[in-house]
Amino acid sequence: MILVVLVFLGAATVGLRWFFGIEKPAALELPKTAQESTNPADAKAVSAQSLPNHVRREVGKSFTFARGSELRPPGDPSVWIDSLKGAAERGDAEASYSIYLALMDCDMYLKASSPEELQQSRSIGAAPQYEQTVLRKLTECASLDASDMSQIGLWLTKAASQGSIEAQVAYAASPNRILGTEPDEKSEQFREWQGNAIAYLHEAMLKGSIDALANLSNSYMAGVITSRDPIRAYASQLALNEINPNFSSENYRREIAKELSPAQIHRAQELSKKFFTDVTKDAGALQ
């Protein structure tokens, strides 16, 4: 069933293997954007950028996204979207991402409003307020049609390319929005998504995004965005734990460690220091 849970789309707990039995991708060379972002000067520049209000600072420059339960203002979403389009077309990444969130909000609630879904939500004891919210959103979202909803992936792609940190993380965590429900992993479109996704996650991590680091860790284990690499997955989990123990499960780390030799674990421990530095420290602090 679909019980709408309003959390950050693409948060640290998101898994990246959206279908099973996928062929392991070949090793990917980081796209030029990701390679350039590994330069200390670039990291210093991006870390100096202002962050949106819906973030929570952690260690150093690092942060997590902390959106509330509402992804858009109440009322007619088409009015809200129309008010943002001008800024979005002029290159405003947050405007583009806000359009994506408005469409996502309606998409989730439209799916949750089917009689079957509402009946199942009642059967598991969902609060009456939940059904009221679903029905209110259903009424509000009636102003959007199928052509509007088909633009979800386009707006996410646009926001990510314009530099929204949150959109970059969501882009990597939402392949179905970009590629459709049955992506062809051998297609050029799939390869393009892989390259963009790994570049965006590296860029967002260097800007301080803990969500990006967590999604990178998931990527190294899933082997979908890039080649499977348990050493890097374990190293990034160690870095997440160093930032905040709530960001990494001890059981998950233990499961990854089962695949590693003592020498590989030692290598991961050393590599975790770089991950920690990349996500928490400005370039100036490294000199």
pLDDT tens over the chain, length 287 residues: 444 433 333 333 333 333 323 333 333 333 333 333 334 444 444 444 556 678 999 999 999 998 877 899 999 999 999 999 999 999 999 999 999 999 999 998 877 666 566 666 666 777 777 778 878 888 899 999 999 999 999 999 999 999 999 999 999 999 999 998 888 999 999 999 999 999 999 999 999 999 999 999 999 999 999 999 999 999 999 999 999 999 999 999 999 999 999 999 999 999 999 999 999 997 544 32
* Beta-bridge partners for 64: 56
pLDDT for the residue numbered 117? 61
Q: Where are the alpha helices (DSSP H) in the chain?
A: 32-37, 40-47, 77-89, 93-112, 115-123, 128-140, 146-149, 152-162, 165-173, 175-179, 188-206, 210-222, 230-243, 250-257, 262-280
Q: Count Cα neighbours of 187 within 13 Å in the Cβ-side half-sphere.
A: 9
Q: What is the pTM of this model?
A: 0.78
Whole-angstrom Cα distance, residue 74 to residue 76? 7
Backbone angles phi, psi at 148, to 5 degrees: -65, -45
pLDDT for the residue numbered 27? 32
pLDDT for the residue numbered 286? 32
pLDDT for the residue numbered 17? 35
* Helix or strand holding residue 65 (H, E): strand 63-65
pLDDT for the residue numbered 122? 67
